[in-house]
Amino acid sequence: MAPTPDYDVIVAGGGMAGLITAASIGHYSKKAVRTLVIDRNREEEPGKKTNNGWTCGDATSKRSLDYLAEHAGIRYGEPELEHPVKGVYVYSPDRKSKVLFEGEGYLLNRKVLPRRQVADARKAGAELMFGSTAERLLSEDGRITGVTGRRADGSSFSFTAKVVVDATGSSSVLRRFLPIQSKIEKEIDPDDVVGTGRYILDFTPAADNTEYFDPDYCIIHLDQFIAPAGYAWIFAKGKTKVNIGLGVSKSGLDRRNKKFGLSDNLQSLIDKYLNDNPVIKDWSQPSDEANSGNTKGNWQVPVRRHNDCMVANGFALVGDAAWMPRPIDAGGISPSIYGGTILGKVVAEALEAGDTSEAGLWKYNVEYMGTHGYPMASFEVLRRYLQTVTNEQINYGMKHFLSEEDVVAITERKHPEFNRARFMNPGMWFRVLGQLQLARGLRYTVKKSAALVDVNLAYPSSPEGFGEWKTRLASELAETVQRFGPLGAAN
């Protein structure tokens, strides 16, 4: 008889996704599962992403927090929910169009929240091992059987488990060196990663101008010069506190620098954006316990659709390690909440059923796709398209082509229809002709979106159908890569 593994589940990475997964496993198994969470951070600093802190824009929707409460029995409050907002204003580059995406949300305190999440995971029965880096996966007979790594004092560890969850974030080495044959893609295209960074600042408002700071709303500035192939943001964390930053694609930044003979990098763009803000003046990086060590930092976010398959025999991916952030805005908190909650449920069921093979864990792929994941491929295409348009085209498109319905659709996580950009729309004839290329591009993304959502909603219910499904997806996507050409055109 095979020896009993050390744990039922090992979750590598105790960040947003890993800690929610651990808590959800305990919730759905009624604490019957032996779960170990391994994180490289010290216990005093759970969830820290890099030496520069818990780098994030900190914004998430109330909808996702409600989902967590309803499905995993976890409801956050103060101090981890730092500031409520009523929605997001998106500005065109010329700032003449301003579109409101309504919907309550919160600015989290990402340094404080993981402490609560550690308590939740422990309460749900998980054991936590801090100061320990997971380095490699163990395998036997085509399935993952455990994890090896190193503690902070240099000593090594090796534990076995029926399931290993990779929740180590966007720099995952476990996925990259997955030692078994599987359907999981191991590498991400560098063009599908954005460099992002931000400050958290206390400041004295130097003016009253809601284009540059609004205590009740998140603000997004689209501008291919300020944030090439990405966007810049000003998220209120209080009346005189802000999370301000931006994200860019590397190829977009390179093209923009080349075109203008500049040599900006991510940090210099962030600093310029901050210094040009007429409201946020006389600022300082807060040094209180809830913010110290987390006021300035850059990190990477994957912005393609999530991995087409997130499970293998004895193994699953979640959060940034699974490339879950939403391609158009790099929002990865909601996906970690949905993904972690669903994965916890499926793992608990698979252990109960005694089948933690690829087939036994497959339901996670299906349920995540059906709940939160199905529009992601279409958002990947929209992102790819938006990265190729000029500031003038964005100005024009936001003014003439974006309708109320499109805004509502995006708020509801659907692809917009861009009906105003229809050639058959007589009222818009002249406008469509004014920017024919843009209208065609937008309409193309709509057509593609519908096809991609159809493909994703037909995600196979078992591993057997995956090959055929993937061929269908790949052929839809290949056409868009060709059509939109190289990324990052800037004007």
Ligand X SMILES: Cc1cc2nc3c(=O)[nH]c(=O)nc-3n(C[C@H](O)[C@H](O)[C@H](O)COP(=O)(O)OP(=O)(O)OC[C@H]3O[C@@H](n4cnc5c(N)ncnc54)[C@H](O)[C@@H]3O)c2cc1C
**What Cα–Cα distance (Å) separates residue 50 from each residue in 54, 116, 188, 294, 304?**
7, 19, 20, 10, 22
Q: Which stretch binds ligand X (CB under 6 A): 277-285, 318-326, 344-352, 353-361?
A: 318-326
Interface characters, 185-204, with ligand X (x: CB under 6 A) = -----------xxx------
Amino acid type, 52: N
Q: Given its phi and psi angles, is residue 344 left (phi above 0), alpha (psi -120 to 50 degrees) or beta? A: alpha
* Residues written for the chain: 491
Q: Given the DSSP bridges, would you call strands 35-38 and 127-129 parallel, antiparallel or unpaired?
A: parallel
CB of 196 to ligand X, least distance (A): 4
Interface characters, 429-458, with ligand X (x: CB under 6 A) = ------------------------------
Residue 16 binds to ligand X (criterion: CB under 6 A):
yes
Cα–Cα distance between 427 and 9 in angstroms, integer? 59
Cis omega before residue 335 (within 30°)?
no
Residue 333 binds to ligand X (criterion: CB under 6 A):
yes
Instruction: Tell me which residue of 5, 366, 321, 323 sits closest to 166, measured CA to CA.
Output: 321
Residue 30 CB-density burial (10 A; 0-12 exposed, 13-18 middle, 19+ buried): exposed
Residue 301 binds to ligand X (criterion: CB under 6 A):
yes
CB of 355 to ligand X, least distance (A): 26
Applying CB under 6 A, among 117, 160, 224, 336 the residue interacting with ligand X is 336
Task: Point out the residue whose Cβ comes nearest to ligand X.
Answer: 332
Burial 352-368 (b: 16+ CB within 10 A, else e): eeeebebebbbbbbbbb
Q: Which stretch binds ligand X (CB under 6 A): 306-314, 326-334, 456-464, 483-491?
A: 326-334
CB of 64 to ligand X, least distance (A): 8
Interface characters, 39-58, with ligand X (x: CB under 6 A) = xxx-----xxx-----xxxx
Residue 413, SS3? coil
Q: How many residues line the site for ligand X (CB under 6 A)? A: 41
Residue 294 binds to ligand X (criterion: CB under 6 A):
no
Residue 60 binds to ligand X (criterion: CB under 6 A):
yes
Residue 167 binds to ligand X (criterion: CB under 6 A):
yes
Q: Which stretch binds ligand X (CB under 6 A): 8-16, 180-188, 396-404, 480-488?
A: 8-16
Q: Which is nearer to ligand X, 17 or 386 (CB)?
A: 17
Applying CB under 6 A, among 125, 146, 228, 325 the residue interacting with ligand X is 325
Q: Which stretch binds ligand X (CB under 6 A): 36-44, 363-371, 390-398, 416-424?
A: 36-44
- Terminal alpha carbon distance of the chain: 66
Give me the phi and psi of 260, to 5 degrees please. Answer: -105, 5
% helix, strand, coil for the chain, step of 5: 40, 25, 35
Cis omega before residue 426 (within 30°)?
no
Binding site for ligand X (CB under 6 A): 12-18, 38-41, 47-49, 55-60, 133-134, 167-169, 196-198, 245, 299, 301, 319-321, 325, 330-334, 336
